[in-house]
Structure 1
Amino acid sequence: MPQLLIDDLPIELVRKNIRSLRLTVYAPDGRVRVAAPLRTTEAAIHAFVASRRAWIQKHQAQFAAREQPAVLDFVSGETHYYQGQPLLLRVLPGPAAGRVQRTEPGFLDLCIAAGSPREQREKALNTWYRARLKEQLPALAARWEPVVGAQATAWAIKQMRTRWGTCNIRARRIWLNLELIKQPAACLDYVVVHELVHLHERLHNARFWGLMDQFMPDWRTARQALRAVHLQPCG
């Protein structure tokens, strides 16, 4: 990807068939990307970035302040999360493919063959997480689609590096980040409503946030909670 250096700030530049310049600061490292219309001059891009330097620095500072996620080995004694609740992992003898279960409050049991590699233990836990999120999707859709007045044609789950959710407006398909199952339920509700509102309004403009206020007045609390999370996609 082409790179620009604007006042000592490295910028990833991608040119697209779009009408206006777009600026994104990505977690976790605060890298900056500019999407520019095909014929935009470099001088115009420099001016655009310079005018938003304070905004860029603000978001880079927020990402830098986030608590770094613990490196997980998926062994007994680690803390893992489910719907915002910390659970102590216990790795116990079990089938080769692994099985996850909750038999006691505060504990998460991973039953798997002794000597299984880290990747296999991680995969078994992620399979359990995915199943838990998938089984919640029908109720989430039934709860929020009537409130928002918009219906998705399909809901899906995938691992995403920089987004909690995404919406294909034309296909009316919504994807949720698997990591959401580890966050409090209010955060999952917020992302569901956020993506449904995109079926009314594509952009994050005044109309979009006005609709968020209408459908979920306390959305800011959940968004702030998610902003404090350092996304670490499952393997």
Structure 2
Amino acid sequence: MEAVRCPVVELRQYTLHPGRRDVLIDLFDREFVEPQEAAGMSVLGQFRDLDDPDRFVWLRGFADMPRRAEALESFYGGPVWRAHRDKANATMIDSDDVLLLRPPSAQAGFPAPTVPRPAPGAPASSPPSLILATIWYAHDPFDTAFLDFFERRALPVLTATGAEPLAHLQSEHATNTFPALPVRTNEEVFVWFARFPDEAHLADHLNRLRHSRAWRDGVLPAFSKRWARTPQHLRLAPTDRSLLR
């Protein structure tokens, strides 16, 4: 996984029963992180959605699709999930909102972590931050020309307006190698992730982007030709044990 970190990534959004998010996060951070990684996957980040108190969002990565199947079979067929699945599932209304993604280039994937993950119950070892995930939906596949346009024209504007880009991913259309866990199919998405120190900096970035002539005249026209629907913004607060923060 070193050349392209996590060539396969799941973006998972769970709708939870009211008031149950912290129950799931406590269980997840305490019981599910290390066993999943021991099974062969990378738990990249787990988050509270700032705009929906009953949504839990997380990311996990895999070396490839065959090893995804092996890792998921190992974890979900193993003793840790068997011991805690009833408590975890009791918090959830829906866990099937899953996008299967891939970095379109070696430079597009998530960076390696710079600090170790805190132990369960320990305070986070880096300052608080927020992650913005922006999901663009298109009618047609995102081709290499779009990727080149995004990296040459869009990323500089996003950076100039206060974002710290982390990764950009697009739809992975490989057959779901673990059908027991559904993924959203027949969608063309491009997702970029950026980091901000706090809500004020994130809000300032979005405001500056709205008023940016370079964005309005140079970037948005190319995007709008492709859009199947309005882009989605996820404002995400990392949990204490999230590597992405």
Tell me which protein shows more strand as a share of its residues.
2
TM-score tier by shorter-chain length is: under 0.3
- Structure number with bigger Rg: 1
Q: Counting helix residues as a fraction of each chain, which structure ranks higher? A: 1
Q: Which structure has more RCO (C-alpha within 8 Å, separation ≥ 6)?
A: 2
